[in-house]
Amino acid sequence: MEKLTLDLVILVEDESDIQNVSASVGDGSGVEEKKSTHQDVADEESKPESTSTIDTSDLPPHAVLGMPALSPTMNQGNIAKWNKKEGDKVSYVFDIRYLAKIVAPEGSKEVAVGQPIAITVEDAGDIEVVKNSISSSSVNQKEKATQHGTKSEVKTQKTNTARISPAAKLLIMEYGLDASTLNATGPLGTLLKGDVLSAIKSGKLSPKPASSKAKASSSSQSHQVAASQESKSNLKQSDAYEDFPNSQIRKVIAKRLLESKQNTPHLYLSSDVTLDPLLSLRKDLKEQYDVKVSVNDIIIKVVAAALRNVPEANAYWNEEKGEVILCDSIDISIAVATEKGLMTPILKNADQKTISAISSEVKELAAKAREGKLKPQEFQGGTFSISNLGMYPVDKFCAIINPPQACILAVGRGIKVVEPVIGADGIEKPSVATKLNLTLSADHRVFDGKVGGAFLSALKSNFGDIKRLLL
């Protein structure tokens, strides 16, 4: 469980961890000093409004404890437990303070990073001042919200009975409705046909006195609406489902993948390579030198060598400059599945390392990723990504680019196929070969057809003469 223990509070990144938190207390950190100046007021006004927005301009000397980030990808967290209560003394490395006000109580969920969770003061006499000030500020905010809501309701009521379109009039007459109770959404407060139909479908109708024929029609329509609503309600009740809460990492991954597909023009290039030379090399390394490496380890070396041969492929798009930037080093990001989501630890300078060195480092990075112990520099950055699903029954797939990188290689499983081969006697004979599909997803702003084709050609050449990678 990834957590941060402060002298004041225990924070967790995932909601599911709240129940599993122990009562352990660590050292305090994450406090941001603030002075009572008019600049604070200006800063607060420039931020988006939230339920936890507080006015600290009139408070005595104090410090605001903001929600810290437990990881580089975290943008919100949860309050699992407060180890101190309001009025308690809190000891820091160079200072002693008092917990004056808890802004975010125990059990608070999805608190944004940087959002205030508590206020501390240096003087114990200022505790009540802070409590009273924050409480009165909250009451004022609620009163303003109530007044604003009342004004909005009055304004809505005034605009409800405005102009009525001809089609809306016919429906109102047909169903015997009271036009003053319908919500008008048209320009200048015009009541439209759609407004009347929405009211009819909702079942919240206010009929006016009408003829017996109109009453009968309205009654029949009401029964139909009620029956329709009842059937929909029964249908919803019969649908069984379970909410599966996402971890903070998965939320960030989902957001970035969506941004990648929306903002990056993906170019897809696919090619089949022969896997038999690679499998033969792997077998020789194990039998002759007792070196155990995976297929993926050798693929990393093959890709790194191809990037060295085609340096234009080892690049990214600079949004600010609007141009392609070539990378100096070849740093390969490896997709590793963990319980909290997909992580991409980086194998730096992969082209300069032996296959055995690559194998050892990949195992170490994958273990760190699964245990949640990766350092930021071990998974942030990279110049090229590899996503390998060869261990599953996946023949081929298209991966989504991992920004700010410009390319990711999707590796499928090896498949045995029969293909014609010309023998030494010049006669064509059937032969069994293991084929592997590689699909390149590239940023079209960086990769055009020429660069993509050159890179795949280099890959295919390396797979065909795999032993030269040992040189």
Tell me how far apart the alpha carbons of residues 3 and 111 are, in angstroms, rounded to a whole number. 15
- Pair of tokens at residue 349: 């300078």
Tell me how far apart the alpha carbons of residues 65 and 97 are, in angstroms, rounded to a whole number. 12
Run of H or E residues at 80: strand 76-82
Catalytic residue among 27, 43, 123, 448: 448
Bridge partner residues of 164 (DSSP): 191
Phi, psi of 298 (to 5 degrees): -70, -35
448 is a catalytic site residue:
yes
Q: Are 8 and 83 in contact (CB under 8 A)?
A: yes
Tell me how far apart the alpha carbons of residues 229 and 234 are, in angstroms, rounded to a whole number. 9
Catalytic residue among 14, 55, 444, 465: 444
Question: Coil, strand, or helix at residue 130?
Answer: helix
Residue 46 is given by DSSP the state H
Question: Coil, strand, or helix at residue 438?
Answer: strand
Distances (CA, A) of 140 to 44, 54, 144, 159, 161: 16, 11, 6, 29, 33
Run of H or E residues at 418: strand 407-422
Any idea which residues carry the catalytic annotation? 444, 448
